[in-house]
Chain A
Amino acid sequence: MASIVTNAPERRASGWTAALRLILVRIGYALLTLLLVSIVVFVISGLLPGDAAQEMLGQSATPAAVAALRHEYGLDLPAHVRYLSWIKGIFGGDAGHSIVANMPVSEIIADRLPNSLVLAGLTTAVAVPLALLIGILSAVKRGSKTDRALNVATLSMVAVPEFLVATLAVLIFAVHLRLLPSIAMVSKDATWGQFLRSYALPVMSLAMVVIAQMARMTRAAVIDQLNKPYVEMAALKGVRPRRIVLYHVLPNAVGPIANAIALSLSYLLGGAIIVETIFNYPGLASLMVNAVTSRDMALLQTCAMIFCGAYLLLVLIADVVAILANPRLRAQ
């Protein structure tokens, strides 16, 4: 009896260290993944026809002009030398120099990353609460008319491509009603009203897609828990439905929900390309497309690293949340 009592805090402590160790191992794997991704991106982008010198000169690329530019930018060096010098720079905190823009990559990214983060952040702020609400509501009322209506709505939101949503939204709200701007111009001296107005349509288009995905996953996770015997037990003991959902079901469903949210949110950085294009929003995704078409390797690599890093970070956070929310996983 005594041994059990003394053991309890120790076991709890070892549970936390185990979780910590797990997180550290995951970070190690994430770094390894980043390294591998950087090699893959470098190799694959090297397979694209043409290089930065040719793309810069475009249709007017003569062999002599291309050779001169290549030499100037060090593009005539062997691939592994270029890769090693880039990776050396990255470890030293220098993301390299964009030969197309003739600027340090870090400066270009510093310009664009905040835009992408604002768009992703606003979309998250709108989408996550709505998605949770829709998901939980339709799980609790599963089989009812509300559930079926929400199902149809979310399924059609998943099915409609966002360029259609965005274009229709522009046609209705910008061209016909003239309520909202058709392009998202970010200027630093914008008032709050202008800020919200210019973000309204892009955030709406992006949120449509991610809300639907997250709501579907939330519904499935909550229903899964609602069918468990402990819920029935709680109901039999007379616990009110709201309390069952909030205090009993949600903590158990948080793992899968966090995963669904992480996957959806990771889409908001790189996957916003269509919304960025339609609303002419200067974010990271269009920057990366630029980097690909102009064969701007340093910029392309850095963008790829950011997207990959953000994805790994979100998945890691989701895992940690799942581990911490579940005593059994914590103890493992």
Chain B
Amino acid sequence: MAQKLTISRRELVGGALGAGLAATAGGLLLWKGGGKPANHAFVMRGDQQPRYGGRIRVSSIASSTADTLDPAKGSLSTDYARHNMVYNGLTRYDGLLNAQLELAEALESSDRQLWRVKLRKDVAFHDGKPLTSADVVYSLLRHKLPETASKVKTIADQFAEVRADGADEVLIRLTGPNADLPEILAQTQFLIIRDGTKNFHAANGTGPYRCTVFQPGVRTVGVRNPHYWKHGRPFLDEIELIAIPDEVSRVNALLSGDVHLVNAVDPRSTKRIKESGTHAVTETQSGLYTDLVMQQGMLPTSNPHFVLAMKYLLDRELIRRALFRNYAVIANDHPIPPNHRYFNSEIPQRQYDPDRAKYHIRQAGLTGARLPMFASPAAEASVDMASVVQEYGSRIGVNFAVNRVPSDGYWSAHWMKHPLTFGNINPRPTADLLFSLFFKSDAEWNEAHWNNPQFDRLLVEARGEADEARRKQLYGEMQQLVHDQAGVAIPVFISLIDGHDLRLKGLHPIPIGGLMGYMFADQVWWDG
């Protein structure tokens, strides 16, 4: 059993290996590798049978000439949705962000450093070529090349070696043990393309839809792939993907029936959608957060008293209610959301406490000080959050000067460049990724430049840890360290809100993003 470690590590996946289907905790059935499910052999929530046919139009929020069919360059919701229409990954996320097998039939390792990937043998690209190990090797290794400009280069750098072992098996050797490889490979950027692909004006994938129209900044059309390897899927004949950047226009387009599924609905619009009688909203409680970043290399934000004062100054209830209309989950100054399997529920929830905040400000010698703070619409809700902090700050004798700067260029010109800025961190699939990207002492995006050798040691230990209980304990300790000491204050986790036509069925949240974690394409059907 030891060599099937990742699989046995997670009960859900382990129990499912060899079976065609398995039920997740959500009561929903998903495909598993290894099985050869017969046509129509699926069961959905309730006793409703999915229907075939129909075409839908889906709108996300942003589309530009930077739109791409190259999964490595995908950086926005529209890209992720488009890529999941056309390509498949070796694994994919379920509703709990566990990795389920997809193009991989098995993913095994005895030491969590050398991994063996067995590929399904019944998969073909849209041009008819069968999927082989060469495609996987090419798809994974290209992320390491600088000219690919991959968004996940830093993650892919841990692939010390990726090589084919026969036509259906791939060996991945990592630079160090990492038990999370199945979850890492489920990221959209690691979707599998055909060996040697350099031109991305058209797409050739193994996914549920063939891309027939791709106009950057305008639209993408996917037509049902009749030879899709998930037998009996997909259900829809055609999906058209567009982007409507203006939220009001997007909701109007949904309500007028011009589009059938939208993401990034403002909490203020949910009432309108719900009252329509023909449309509904889906809330995805995610790990997305906007945080107040206090630079540890600059004064006065490096003062531990100041950091604590700010953490006590945040009125999390108010932020959740007023800024997000309760479409948010209270956070506890660390990046692991409560619905995550490694969430440490033993850390007491930090509450708004003006007296303690005042005490720590006095200890820091900052009573009466004037502190500039940078907020921008680029970091969701940060401008409103800054106003709240400013208001509450004045009550304890600190004068925060809010500098509202434009979205344009915020990340390169302001984020992490001043003592007090706001960051905005998208959901990440694993605790390891969150901590390694944003909290490890030498990480490029260690937002507050927080330096804690103990944290770094725990991070490496947890990454290679085989025992699930021990792993949870290690991540728990790390949450405690971040909660107590790190220079970021995280008030709430922001929920993602989608709106959809009631006739569109099969949607359920996957907390990596809206639109079913951008993976709605082979799951939804039209009941019209």
Contacts and interface: CB of A to CB of B under 8 A. Distances in A.
Interface of A: 48-50, 54-62, 65, 68-69, 72, 98, 100-103, 108, 111, 167, 170-171, 174-175, 178, 181-183, 185, 277-280, 282, 286-287, 290-294, 296, 299
Contact of A280 (B153, B154, B242): B242
Shortest Cβ-Cβ A-B pairs, 3 listed: A49-B409, A101-B65, A49-B413
Contact of A277 (B75, B151, B242, B246): B246
B253 interface: yes
A14 B86 CA distance: 68
Contact of B412 (A50, A68, A167): A50
B445 interface: yes
A90 B490 CA distance: 50
Interface stretch (B213-221, B325-333, B504-512): B213-221
Contact of A170 (B151, B217, B249, B444): B249
A56 B75 CA distance: 9
B409 A50 contact: yes
A321 B146 CA distance: 57
Contacts of A54: 411-412
B409 A100 contact: no
11 contacts: A49-B409, A57-B149, A68-B149, A100-B65, A178-B256, A277-B245, A279-B249, A280-B242, A280-B249, A290-B66, A294-B66
Interface SS of B by simple majority: loop
B153 A175 contact: no
A58 B426 CA distance: 13
Nearest to B411: A59
Contacts of B424: 59
Nearest to B199: A102
Nearest to A66: B412
A297 B99 CA distance: 41
B372 interface: no
Nearest to A68: B146
Interface string B88-125: 00000000000000000000000000000000000000
A279 B242 CA distance: 12
Contacts of B412: 49-50, 54-55, 61
Interface in B226-267: 242-246, 248-249, 252-253, 255-259
Interface residues of B, number: 43
A61 B150 CA distance: 11
A139 B249 CA distance: 39
Given A182-B249, A183-B258, A48 B65 contact: no
B75 A58 contact: yes
B152 to A, nearest CB: 9
Nearest to A115: B218
Given A171-B252, A182-B256, A277-B246, A56 B411 contact: no
A331 B165 CA distance: 87
B217 A182 contact: no
A158 B43 CA distance: 58
Contacts of A62: 154, 444
Contact of B66 (A60, A101, A167): A101
Given A170-B256, A175-B256, A280-B249, A98 B153 contact: no
B256 A174 contact: yes
B197 interface: no
Contact of A72 (B75, B147, B219, B258): B147
Interface in B313-332: none
B242 A65 contact: no
B146 A65 contact: yes
B65 A291 contact: yes
Question: Among B147, B215, B243, B258, which residue has the most Cβ atoms of chain A within 10 A?
Answer: B258
B408 interface: yes
Given A167-B249, A183-B244, A280-B59, 7 more contacts: A49-B408, A58-B411, A59-B445, A72-B149, A101-B67, A103-B65, A182-B253
Contacts of A102: 200
A151 B75 CA distance: 51
B249 A277 contact: yes
